[in-house]
Amino acid sequence: MSRESSNLSPAITTMIRLDHMHVLAAFHRYHRDSAWWRKRAIVNSVCAALEIHAQLEEEIFYPALAEVAATNQSLQASRPAHDAVRATIRELRATGPENAAYDALFMQLMRDTLHHVADEETVLLPMAERALKQQLRSLGADMTRRRIELLKERPTEVAVNTMRTFPLATLALATAFVVCLTCAVRGNARRRHG
């Protein structure tokens, strides 16, 4: 990525915090009494976000931080924490919302994620902001580029889960799109005949 692009990119620590906020907000949308399809969409959306987030951290953030703090206990515990989250994700995907264990598994994923986020937000991110100050934007640019690559591998999954997670917003956007398209078609027809 060019130097100019790196200067425009948010710091990697900002991007990680935004990922955390995104997942925490998704956790708040999950309710035990929600329709099964909405539960499944929220869980799938959270799982995909966590998988991508963990991969980005492991490929970009942790190696950079290990160069300056290889013996830090929180950093050393991060990969095993990701592995625990991945194990719960595999269980969730193998279970359906109709299974009595589904809600409990999702709650376990929430607890594991919250614990991991707390470690990162209180220890790793402040350490990175001190020790990697000059690299934060270039690492953020690397993370953006890699995130785009990872999202390209699952566009349908992301779109479907987003639509099912936010059905009213999706309906509103679809309605707005149809209205705009109708207006554009009518405007073109008037110009041709006018």
- Is the pLDDT at 159 greater than 90? The verdict is no
Average pLDDT on 129-157 reads: 92
- Note the pTM of the prediction, 2 decimals: 0.79
C-alpha span between 151 and 134 (Å, rounded): 27
Give the Å distances, CA to CA, from 171 to 15, 22, 141, 163: 29, 21, 33, 9
C-alpha span between 118 and 20 (Å, rounded): 10
- Is the pLDDT at 102 greater than 90? The verdict is yes
C-alpha span between 52 and 77 (Å, rounded): 18
Residue 162: its pLDDT value, please? Answer: 65
pLDDT tier at 186, thresholds 50, 70, 90: confident
pLDDT tier at 169, thresholds 50, 70, 90: low
- Is the pLDDT at 54 greater than 60? The verdict is yes
- Is the pLDDT at 158 greater than 90? The verdict is no
Q: Which two tokens stand for residue 169?
A: 């917003």
Contact 85, 48 (CB under 8 A): no
Question: What is the residue extent of each domain of the chain?
Answer: 3-153
